[in-house]
Every structure is written in C-alpha cells, then in structure tokens.
Chains A and B, each alone.
Chain A
Amino acid sequence: MPTLHLEIVTPEARIYQAEVEAVVVPGVEGELGILPHHVALMTQIVPGELRISHEGQQLRMAVGEGFLDVLPNRVLILTDMAIDEADIDEHAAEKAVALAEQELKNTTLSHEEIATVQSSLLRSLAKIRVKRGSHY
C-alpha cells in the first residue's frame, strides 16, 4: 500500500511524524482528504478534527489554526495546537469554553484580545468535538 510522509509540528514540539496511508484535515473550505500522490497544495486549516490512517488504524487529533503544505508524498501540518484524542481533558475544555464565552461578553476588550479569546474558544470547541465524537 502506498504511503505518504506526514509531519505535524507546533511551536512547542514536533507532535507526530510517520508514514501514513491517508490523512483528513479541516481546511478553510471544508474537510480535505489527502492520499498518496496528491497534487501539491498549500492551504490554511481551521480548528477541528484531524484523522490519520496509520497501519490500518485510525488516529484522531484536535488541531488548531495553521497551514497545510502538501508535496507529492510529503504532508506538512503547521498548527498552534495538536492533541491526541486520548489526551484531551473534556472537563477542562468545557470549563475553558464557559470562561471564553463569559469573557467575550465583556465589552471592554480590545480588538486583539477578542481575537485571542475567540481563537482559544474555537480550539476548546474542537477538542470537545473530537472527544465526544469518539463515543458514538
């Protein structure tokens, strides 16, 4: 079976690196499935669910905003967050969502601060979505 080299990097560390069969990423224009020999592509990704097919098994991750760079048989994902589904703390994420929603009601925030809170809200929501998705 043909494979492609997938690399996921965040500012904190290199999260994942392996030869995989397929990867599904949340792009700005909807979900994108990447298979080996995909045409070269560059796009932005949004907070959401990332699925990796590796040796017949499926791995799910919550990712944040970032970029996707596809070259034939090499996929590079640059994002500000990438967490394995098993490592997500659902309660902490729910708390973060509640906190962020409350903060957004605060009208004294500057433009920059609102953007920060919003992006952290989207990240937390993505975490919860990925975590809950695995129970069905």
Chain B
Amino acid sequence: MANTRDIRRRIKSVKNTAQITKAMEMVAASKMRRAQQAAMAGRPYSEALHQALLSLRDRVDQECHPLLVQRPVKKTLVLLLTSDKGLCGALNTNVLRDIAALDSSSTVFVAIGRKGAAFLARTGRLMIADFLLPDHPTFLQTKPISQFCLEQFLSGSVDQVNILYPKFINTLVQRPVNLQLLPISIEQSSVMSQSSKTTPFLTHSPSSENETKKDVLETGEYLFEPTPDNVLNAILPYSFHFEVFQKILDERASEQSARMVAMKAATDNAKNLVKDLTLEYNKARQASITTELLEITTAQMALQ
C-alpha cells in the first residue's frame, strides 16, 4: 500500500488541477453566453436573406450572374473553421476527421484558427491562406476573408467554395458540417430554410410561404430597381459575406460551449479522484495506526 505522504501529495496536486479547470469552466461559460447570443442574434437576418434569395429563384436565369453559375468542379476551396486553442474536447478532432474524406489533389484550404492551420501543415495539405480572428469577430473583420475566397472563385482558380465548421446545435451538441457556399445554390438555401422551420426564429409557416409563392406566380411580374444586374451584384456577394460571418459566429459559440463542457467534465473527474484518494489515504492511515497499536501491545505483553 502506498504510503500516506505520497497519497497526500497526489491529493494536493489533483485539487490544484481541479481549481484550474473550474476557473477555465467559469471563463468559458461567460464567453459562451456572449458567443451564443451573437450567433443566435444573426439567425433571423440570415433567414430573411435566404427568403429574399428564395423569392429570386423563380425569377432570374441561373446563368445570368457569375456567382450563380455551376461550373464543372476541378478544384474546390474549403474554408476550414477551427479554434485557436485546445482544451475543448473532441470539437476540432471531429471537424478535422472530415478532411480525411476529401481528395487532397483537388482541394485547397483556407484556414481560420490555429488548430486547423497546424493540422493542414502536419498532414501536408495545400493551404493557400490562414487567418486569425479575435474571440468576438465583427463583420468588418471577417469580410476580408470572405472577399479572398470570393476572388479565388471569380478568378477561376477554384470552381466551388465549401465551408467546414462545427455547427452549433446546443451547448452539448456540435456537429461538423461541410456546406457549399459558392456558387450560390438557391435550391440548397431553400432546403436550409425549410430545415430551420422548426426553429423559433422563423415566422412564416410553410403554408403561408406557399401561398405567397403562388401569388407571385399568378401575378407573374417581378421588378428590379434599378436593374436586375445591379440588385444581384449587391445582394449575392453580400449574402456570401454574411453567410461566412454567421458561420464564424457559430464556430465561436460551438468552441466556447465545447470548452465549457470539457472543463466541467475535467472538474468532475478531478473531484471523484480526490474522493477516491481521500478514502485510500484514510485507509492507509488507519492501517498504520493499527499496526503501531499492535506493535505496542505485543511489546508490552512481551515485557510482562
């Protein structure tokens, strides 16, 4: 049996660790609240933007704007969102696992976050840019990143832009998602807005939307002011920039949630360990007292 001094030392060190993880849990919890709020606040807007694009779908020619044209995909750009720091459970691992499934010869990467950049460098993938962002990025800070991806797409060096990020479902669940952003596929955005029908953010029930759609088809007239080109030139890039911004906020919310949960688990584990060690310590102490008593009594009996 380990001696009591060793056990005491271990208890002390485990308690210290618990204190640190507890502090990290608190920090992550407060950051999480802010990050979740930011991610949620943008959802109605992103939803409304989808609706606007949806109402465009039947009225514009899919080939009339470079951001809408589907080209044969020779090269794909993947915008990879990961955290800068570790200690957030399996969050980054889950996202990075999805990269293995991608063909390395036809995929180039743009990384946001140190973990993703380090992984790409380690596995020898082609990374054309990496960016670092603060904890609470603003639209202006993320715009240069999305602008970079947009230019890559428009110049023809890539034919498709995807985003791979841990989607925030709730505090306990984050799911890695690989989503096509460019060319803007309005079919897909309609699927997305339908899947989010269940969220409380949406006001239009599917039936009312169908009615409005029918109304439009009956009237059959749709105006663009000043011209369709002007409106498309403004709304399509903007919707892409906003989409990227929204995904980055989502990643941040996922990261802080995962970190809080991981740190909570670590604190609980440390507490259990302290409990077990204390029991062992008490047993060892009791055993040594018993042995001592035995020795004293034997010695006394031998004297008599």
| Chain A residues near B (Cβ < 8 Å) | 7, 9-14, 17, 27-29, 32, 39-44, 67, 69, 71-74, 76, 78, 112, 116
Q: In the complex, what's the smallest C-beta–C-beta distance from B231 to chain A, in angstroms? A: 5
On chain B, the residues within 8 Å of A10 by CB distance are: 45
Please list the 4 inter-chain residue pairs (A to B) with the smallest Cβ-Cβ separation, ordered nearest first: A43-B225, A69-B52, A41-B223, A40-B222
- B41 and A11 within 8 A (CB): yes
In the complex, are the beta carbons of A78 and B49 less than 8 A apart?
Answer: yes
**Pairs across A and B, CB under 8 Å, 8 listed:** A9-B48, A28-B230, A32-B225, A40-B55, A42-B223, A42-B231, A67-B234, A69-B52
Q: A10, A17, A71 — which one has the most chain B CB atoms within 10 A of its CB? A: A71
B212 at the A/B interface (Cβ < 8 Å)?
yes
Q: How far is the CA of A41 from the CA of B41 in the complex (A)?
A: 27
CB within 8 Å for A78 and B219 given contacts A29-B226, A42-B56, A43-B224: no
Q: By CB atoms of chain A within 10 A, which of B52, B140, B238 has the most?
A: B52
Given contacts A9-B45, A42-B231, contact A76 B219 (CB under 8 A): no
Distance (Å) between the CB of A78 and the closest chain B CB?
6
Instruction: Say yes or no: A29-B223 contact (C-beta < 8 A), given A11-B45, A42-B231, A78-B48.
Output: no
Minimum CB–CB distance from A8 to chain B (whole Å) comes to 9
* Complex CA–CA separation, A14 to B47 (angstroms): 11
B111 CB, min distance to chain A CBs, angstroms: 22
**List of A residues within 8 angstroms of B222 by Cβ:** 39-42
Q: Is the interface of B mostly helix, strand, loop or mixed?
A: helix
Contact, CB under 8 Å: B212 / A13 = no
Q: Which residues of A contact B45 (CB under 8 A)?
A: 9-12, 14, 78
Q: Complex formed: what's the CA distance from A18 to B225 in Å?
A: 25
Pick from A17, A69, A73: contact of B215, CB under 8 Å: A73
- Give residues 213-231 of B contacting A (CB, 8 Å): 215-216, 219, 221-226, 230-231
| Pairwise interchain contact B225-A41, C-beta atoms closer than 8 A | yes
- Is the CB–CB distance between B51 and A69 below 8 Å? yes
Nearest Cβ on chain B to A95's Cβ, whole angstroms? 21
Using A28-B225, A32-B225, A76-B51 as known contacts, list a sample of 18 further A-B pairs with CB atoms less than 8 Å apart, ordered by residue number in A.
Answer: A9-B48, A11-B41, A11-B139, A14-B45, A28-B226, A40-B59, A40-B219, A41-B222, A41-B223, A41-B225, A42-B52, A42-B231, A43-B224, A69-B52, A71-B216, A72-B215, A72-B216, A76-B52
In the complex with contacts A67-B52, A67-B235, A69-B52, A39-B223 CB distance below 8 A? yes
* Nearest chain B residue, comparing its CB with the CB of A43: B225
Bound complex: CA A27 to CA B225 (Å): 9
Q: Which residue of A lies closest to B228 (CB)?
A: A42
B219-256: contact bitstring with A at CB < 8 Å (1 yes, 0 no)? 10111111000110011001000100000000000000
Within the assembled complex, what's the spacing in Å between the Cα atoms of A17 and B202?
12
Cβ–Cβ contact A44 & B231, under 8 A? yes
B219 pairs with A72, CB closer than 8 A = yes
Closest residue to A66 on the B side, CB-wise?
A: B238
Please measure, in the bound complex, the distance between the C-alpha atom of A69 and the C-alpha atom of B223, giving whole angstroms. Answer: 10
A117 to chain B, nearest CB (A): 11
In the complex, whether B203 has a CB less than 8 A from a CB of chain A is yes
- Would you call B52 and A78 a contact (CB within 8 A)? yes
Give the residues from 175 to 194 in chain B that come closer than 8 angstroms, CB to CB, to chain A. Answer: none
